[in-house]
Amino acid sequence: MDTGLKVRTVLITGASSGIGRALAHQVAQAGGRLILVARDAARLERTLTEVQAHGAAAVAMRADLADPAQVRGLVAALQRAPEPVDILVNNAGLSIRRPVERSLDRPEDFERLISVNYLGPLVLTLGLLPGMLARNRGHIVDVSSIGVQAGAPNFSGYVASKAAMDHFARALLLELGRRPIRVTTVYLPLVRTPMIEATAIYEAFPALEAQQAARRIGKALIERPVRLAPAWTTALELLHTLAPETMRRTFALLHDPVHRFLERRAKARRARSHRPGAQEEH
Ligand SMILES: NC(=O)c1ccc[n+]([C@@H]2O[C@H](COP(=O)([O-])OP(=O)(O)OC[C@H]3O[C@@H](n4cnc5c(N)ncnc54)[C@H](OP(=O)(O)O)[C@@H]3O)[C@@H](O)[C@H]2O)c1
């Protein structure tokens, strides 16, 4: 990663695992100062020790993003900190894979998704924005999913919560106009992290490693684009807008056969490696 981060303080939520942990390593190697946020004290401490081993100045702050009082407490602690946050990476996230028809009696799942993926990051963003506006500098980076662009059957609650954050970001960046504060949304494809471990068929899907996903976010930290997304999912997003009925028919035709094919492939892989199957829903 570019050494332009040397004089920057980067706050990463979800730094205790997966992509956030990998990004923390990369920011540390580029010389950035780090504020690491998550709930799990032991795993957060592990990331802290690792980034300090790279020589980075870093602190860990525990907070549950689903609890607005804890997020407000985090904001208050950040406002008292000697170094202001230059770059906020809203990376922490929760995913639930479940068809709508099996979610009918589980509205609490949608509430959890909205709390972790939208309301928590929103309160954090609103808390740090006044400081960024006062200093006339800052960068907010939201980690989203290509599911928002491409359509994601079985992930209605997840993509809805991610889309809420994406649209907040889009409105904010337009309101910021010519001010030098940037807002970036990074749309990631499937990434092999604990988030997807519970879904057996993902073993048969091509996926990025956490380090590769973190490099994409790292690129966004340096280049500060409005959005960073694979070309093929941007093309699908365009098709959903231009030809929604064709897209609906294509999904209706292909979804089940592709799903069955991937299930067979994942099953064969597990049989070869003598592993039991993971749960379908998470
Ligand atoms: N993996 C993928 O295929 C994929 C694809 C597209 C986008 N993404 C996005 O990438 C981001 C990182 O996901 P990942 O794959 O690295 O998942 P992961 O390994 O499961 O990590 C999720 C992180 O979020 C934190 N977190 C979860 N709930 C939280 C809460 N209530 N409060 C505070 N922190 C919380 C977790 O920390 P604690 O448990 O310690 O709190 C953990 O550090 C997410 O926003 C996800 O939606 C992932």
Residue 280 lies in a domain: no
Question: Taking residues 224-248, what's their average pLDDT?
Answer: 97
Query: Domain containing 76: what range?
Result: 3-273
Concatenating the DSSP letter of every residue in 24-85 gives HHHHHHTT-EEEEEES-HHHHHHHHHHHHHTT--EEEEE--TT-HHHHHHHHHHHHHSSS--
Percentage of the chain exceeding pLDDT 90: 86
- Residue 158 a catalytic site member: yes
278 within some domain: no
Residue 265 lies in a domain: yes
Q: pLDDT tens across 42-69, in order?
A: 999 999 999 999 999 999 999 999 999 9
Q: Tell me the CATH number at 11.
A: 3.40.50.720
Residue 243 Cα to ligand 1 middle (Å): 33
Burial 192-210 (b: 16+ CB within 10 A, else e): bbebbeebbbbbbeebbeb
The pLDDT score that the predictor gives to residue 3 is 57
**Using an 8 Å Cβ cutoff, are 191 and 207 in contact?**
yes
* Structural domains in the chain (count): 1
Q: pTM value?
A: 0.95
Residue 260 belongs to some domain of the structure:
yes
Residue-wise pLDDT tens digits, 160-174: 999 999 999 999 999
Around ligand 1, the residues with Cβ closer than 6 Å are 13-14, 16-20, 38-40, 43, 64-66, 91-95, 116, 143, 145, 188, 190-191, 193-196
Say if 281 falls within a structural domain.
no
**Which ligand 1 atom sits nearest the alpha carbon of residue 115?**
31
- What's the CA gap between 53 and 221, in Å, rounded? 22
Would you say residue 282 lies in a domain? no
Query: What is the pLDDT at residue 279?
Result: 41
How many angstroms separate the CA atoms of 159 and 153, rounded?
A: 9
Q: Of ligand 1's atoms, which has the minimum distance to the CA of residue 158?
A: 47
User: Within 10 Å of residue 101's Cβ, how many Cβ atoms?
Assistant: 6
137 CA to centre of ligand 1 in angstroms:
27
If you measure from the C-alpha of residue 174 to the centroid of ligand 1, how many angstroms do you get, rounded to a whole number? 27
Helix axes 244-273, 231-242, angle to 10 degrees: 140
